[in-house]
Each structure stands twice: as structure tokens, then as C-alpha cells.
Amino acid sequence: MKLKIVFTTLITFVVLWSCKTENQDSKVELTQEFVNLSSSEDLPYVLEQFADIKVLRYQIPGWKNLTLKEQKLVYYLTQAGLSGRDIMWDQNYKYNLKIRTALENVYTNYKGDKSTENWKSFVVYLKRFWFSNGIHHHYSNAKIKPEFSSEYLKTLLTETNTTLEGEAFEVIFNNKDAKKVNQAKNVDNVLLSAVNFYGSDVTNEDVETFYGNMKSPDSLKPLSYGLNSQLVKEDGKLKERVYKSGGLYGSAIDEIVKWLELAQGVAENKAQGDALGLLITYYNTGDLQVWDDYNVAWTSATEGNVDYINSFIEVYNDPLGYRGSYESIIQIKDFDMSQKMAVLSENAQWFENNSTLMDAHKKKNVVGVTYKVVNVAGEAGDASPSTPIGVNLPNANWIRAAVGSKSVSLGNITNAYSKASSPGRLKEFVNDDEEYQLEKDHGQLADKLHTALHEVIGHASGQLNPGVGETKETLKNYASTLEEGRADLVGLYYLYSPKLQELGLVEDWKKLGMAAYDGYIRNGLMTQLIRLKLGDDVEQTHMRNRQWVSAWTFEKGAKDNVIEKIVRDGKIYFNINDYEKLRELFGQLLRETQRIKSEGDFTAAETLVETYGVKVDQAIHADVLKRNKQFKSAPYSRFVNPVLVPEMDDEGNITAITVKQPKSFENQMLNYSKHFGFLPDEN
């Protein structure tokens, strides 16, 4: 590996807030430190590690193949995404921005002794805080506990002339607002969730009554009520504070719109430009009908090399599944991989017809499913630093059925994970050499195909029974984990199928399927538990679905010893004895999960998740944690973003855009706060 030289660059650039020109009358100074690489191959993927977190970098393959106009589009969309990042911070918790302002001021201005354990603990807490976009852990939803005292923080605040008082200070150390999202059974999930989607006195019953009284103009095209607002009580009456220009988060939304207008001016084609225009209108008005119109237009705009996700989208952070978290992902098409994997969307109807779903729950005409492997060029909000590896949108069931959906796998993100991984943990938890070799030879492709099948076929499959409401209404707090498990099961059912080889996607379908099944069961029953403290329940949506899928199939296959629990030398392993029967079990569970969704069977959803997805086998958990202590690699890996640096001529026109890699996590976080902090500390 060649020598890396760290240098600091001052970038000064100017932008006119107009969709028709790049000239401008106001300029922004942006200072950030970068790593200078002799070659893209020299990229050190692992940036740093702290607590339970490993921070990674990713590259942007194909950047130089884009035209300057396409690069401008990517740049403007990336800036739009970053302009809204503080919305996610405030959505996560009402005091996050106030706490961040104070902690960052301490970090940048403290002149005292930085060699003490207290200061080191403060720095780790701040980095964890940055990583999670707030005081709650990005995965477990539990409040992050500082390893320094309140007295020490008071000293730091005093010595840096920083103000942080009252509840915003106390909540760092006390037990209040202990979970961002509380999905526990038989509690008031809204009251007990710290997420800032609801007023402090709003209850489950309030939410269900408020939206239960709303009727869409077209019952066959239900609007996404609650998606873009905060629900509060004023003088005892429920009221929505809508996210829009002039409304809640208006100052950040205005900045988003300015960059979206510039992006619209360099759109690749009319369909893409029209969709951007509708998104701008939606941000300006908050009109949910416009949101649906935008999603129809965005889903239909499939041509071009650049695409994006931007707005209030995924509802995982709402305990009742109404409100969307702010998210932005900018994507460049991976031409080679997209062409290879397009075969999945082309055969979507075959997969639907041959699934284990009841005939009444199968779609007779799977339409508009487009699939691409993409390379991420920038992320913000709910997608950063903790990014997905695949996305399928839009979420509205009626749009999926009538128009279709877009599915993407984030190829360069998956590649960065692979480059930064080490085989040690895998060797510890596989049952034997055969399982290890299968994973080495086929695991990476199996993961990519599962992501593709999950997003393209899984989320696009199945339909609701006539008259059954949206899943957020029928399945409530279990809707998200049921949907993710259902999509996982579609993928699992077809991963062990000769159809994949027939389509030219794999060379040995059986070995790939075996590797996929081994990996899923190993993770669902064991290795994902390294992310939990002993005694904790499973809270996170995807962790729950992986556990209930794995635990259900383990139990149901016990009679035939489909999956065998082995104790050897005091260590626990799981071995699959019959892959064919395991596939049958996945098919049975898929059929039942789709029935639950199609019929809106809340009781069955609750029973499935609570029985298999929440409680952890303590003996297995203790064994996993003990064995994992030997590994220094953190269980969570997430990302900083590359930085797109524009070059300007004397008139302020962009003449080129280069990609730089950030020197450090803290430098990027401080830079973002300085240049993309468009919200007040209280909203």
C-alpha cells in the first residue's frame, strides 16, 4: 500500500439559488480535511473504531464516467440531502440539537487536560452521539450512557462558556426517555417512546382515534396521513404540525428546496425533472396528495444514470408506523451489475406465481418492478451514518400494485463492508469446516442475492384482502417487523432454488442456497446477539424479524431435526441437517405471514413476534457474548461520506467536481453542523 498524506484544503464555492443558473450572489466557505490517495485502490476502508462502532469509508465507482451535467445533478442532490440532516436529529429526540450544540462547543473549545479518562470518555460519548444522530443508540433504541459524571460535564461547560441546563442536561444522566422507540407489548408505545413525533402527552389511543377519523378522497388510494407531521395537543385538542416550508422544519426545508431547484435544472430527462418539480411542490405545501403524485412520477421515472431518495419516508422510528423519518440517498447506476440482476425484475411474475402464498393473496399482475445495483454518492438523515444495503420504494401499497416500485441494492456499500471485514468471528461461530468454506465461497453472492430478492420480489409480492386497511392500522406496532420478515422469507424461499441458476445468476444454486441458509440461521439465532447486552429483549425491527423467522423454523423443524443445536467443548452451534425441509418451513411461514398481512390479523402478528422475536435464550446469549470477547472488531460498521468538491470559473460556474475522502469522522461531523445546521435548537 502506498503512503497516504493528510492535507487540509479550503474550498470556497458559490451557488445561486435558482433552477436555471449556477451563478450566484452569496458564497459559502467550506473547510474540511481530506486524505490524499495515490490511487483509489489505496483507500483505507476502516477510518476508526470506538465503543461498539467501526467507522468506514466507501468509494464512488463510475464517478468519472458521468458527464459534468450528471455530476452536477449528483452534487446538487447531495447538498439537498445534507441540508435536511438536522431534521432527523430533531425527529429522533426533542433535545438532540440543543445537546449537540453544547457538546460540540465543548469539544472544539476545551483547553484543559485531554489526557484524562474523563475527557476520553467524553469524546467517545460525543462520537457515539454523532453516530446515532442523538442520545439513543442507533440500533437498540436505548439511551446511550455516558462514562463520565454530571459534575465533570458541568466543569467542561463552565470552562468553555457553554450553556446546557434543565431537562436537556439532566436527561443525559437520568432514566427519563430511556428508549427512543418502545415496541413492548401491553404498554402505551407512544407515551413511552422518546422519539419526537408526538407531544409528550399524546397516547396510542389519541393517534388511532385522530387518524381513524380521517378518510381519503379515494378509498382505493389511501393517503399517508401522519407521514409528514408531528402530532401534539394544544389546549387539550390534537393538532398536526406539518413539515413544510413555513411550517415545522421550514428553514431546513427551504434549503432543501433551493438545491432541488438546481437539480431540476440539470435533470437527465423530462420525467426526472417533472418528479423533482412535484417533490419541490410537496415540500412547499406539505400536501399528501402531491406526495402520492410525486411517488407515482418518481416510480415511473426509470431512465437515466442518477437517481435519489429524499423526504420523510421510512416509518420504523414511529412506534405506530405513521410518521416518516427524513432520509436522503443519492445513487449512480452500476451498469454492469444492474444488467446482470435485471433478470429478477423481468421474472417478478414467475416468482409471484410460484410462491407459497394462498392464491387469493398473490398478485395477478406484478407491474413496474425496476431493479438496479447502484453506487451511493452521498447519504443523510436516517441513512447516515447508519446506511441500509438495499431499498424498495414507494411504501404505499396501492402505488406498488398500480404503478410498481423501484428496488436498489447499494453495491459500493456492500463492497466496503466486505473489504473491512475479518474472518475471525465467522470461524468462531460456524459449526464445521464445510460451513466455513461454503460461506467463504458463496456467502457474499448469497447476501447480494438475498438483498435483491428481498427488495425486488419480497416487498413487491402479495396483496391485501379487499376492505382490509393499511398495515399500520391493522398490525400497528408489529407492522414493520412483519413486513421485513415477509420480504426476508420470499428471498429465503428462492435462494435454495434451481431457478437462480436457470436465470444465469449463480453457478451452483445448491451450494449458494446452503451458504445462505447457514448464514441466516447462524445470524438469527446467535451472532446478531453480540449487539445486545445480556438480559435485553430484542427491540430493533430487523433483528426481531431475523429472530422470529429463525426461531420459528428451528422449533417447527425440531421433530425432523431440520436444524440441530450442538454443544461442543462448552460452545453452542447450530447445524442445518435438511436444507430441503428448511426451505419448506420457510415457505410455510411465508404463507402464514402473508395471510396475517392480507387479513390484518393483529392477534396472530402479536403472537408470532412476541413468541419468537422478542425474548432471547439467555444461555445462547451468554455463550455468544463470552466467545465474542476475543474479537476487537466492533459489531456495528457504518460510514462517513465522500465529499464532492466543485471547481469554479471566474463567473461562478462549476467546471469540474472531484471526489475526496474525509480525514476523520469528527471533522466531517463538525463540518456538517457548521455548514448544514439550518434549524434552531428547539423546534
Contact 146, 164 (CB under 8 A): no
> pLDDT tens digits for 169-206?
999 999 999 999 998 899 999 999 999 999 999 999 99
Least confident piece of the model among 1-15, 273-287, 498-512: 1-15
Instruction: Give me the pLDDT at residue 21, please.
Output: 38
The single-letter DSSP state of residue 613 is I
pTM of this prediction?
0.85
Residue 127 scores a pLDDT above 50: yes
Mean pLDDT for all residues in the chain: 92
Q: What is the pLDDT of residues 547-559, one digit of tens each?
A: 999 999 999 999 9
Q: Are 486 and 458 in contact, with CB atoms under 8 Å apart?
A: yes
Q: Is the pLDDT of residue 595 over 90?
A: yes
What's the rounded mean pLDDT across residues 61-71? 95
Q: What is the 3-state secondary structure (H, E, C) of 327-385?
A: EEEEEEECHHHHHHHHHHHHCHHHHHHCCCCCHHHCCCCCCCEEEEEEEEEEEEECCCC
CA pair distance 71, 54, nearest whole angstrom: 30
Is 569's pLDDT higher than 90?
yes
pLDDT at 37: 62
Average pLDDT over residues 468-473: 90
> For position 4, what pLDDT does the model report?
28
Q: Where are the domains of the chain?
A: 1-42+645-678, 94-135+144-170, 334-636
Closest CA to 374 of 419, 400, 418, 412: 412
**Which pLDDT score, from 0 to 100, does residue 327 have?**
98
Q: Which residue has the higher pLDDT, 140 or 584?
A: 584
Q: How confident is the model at residue 342 (pLDDT cuts 50, 70, 90)?
A: confident
Give me the pLDDT at residue 26, please.
33
Q: 633 falls in which pLDDT band (50, 70, 90)?
A: confident
The whole-number pLDDT of residue 35 equals 74
* Lowest model confidence (mean pLDDT) among 2-11, 128-137, 344-353: 2-11
* pLDDT band at residue 418 using 50, 70 and 90 as cut-offs: confident
Whether 70 contacts 268, CB under 8 Å: yes
Look at residue 41 in the predicted model and tell me its pLDDT: 58
Share of the chain above pLDDT 90, in %: 83
> Is 451:296 a contact under the CB 8 Å cutoff?
no
Query: Which residue has 464516467 as its cell numbers?
Result: 65
CA within 13 Å, CB half, 39: 4
Question: Which pLDDT value is given to residue 256?
Answer: 98
With a CB cutoff of 8 Å and minimum separation 6, the contacts of 466 are none
What does the pLDDT read at residue 19?
35
347 — pLDDT class (breaks 50, 70, 90): very high
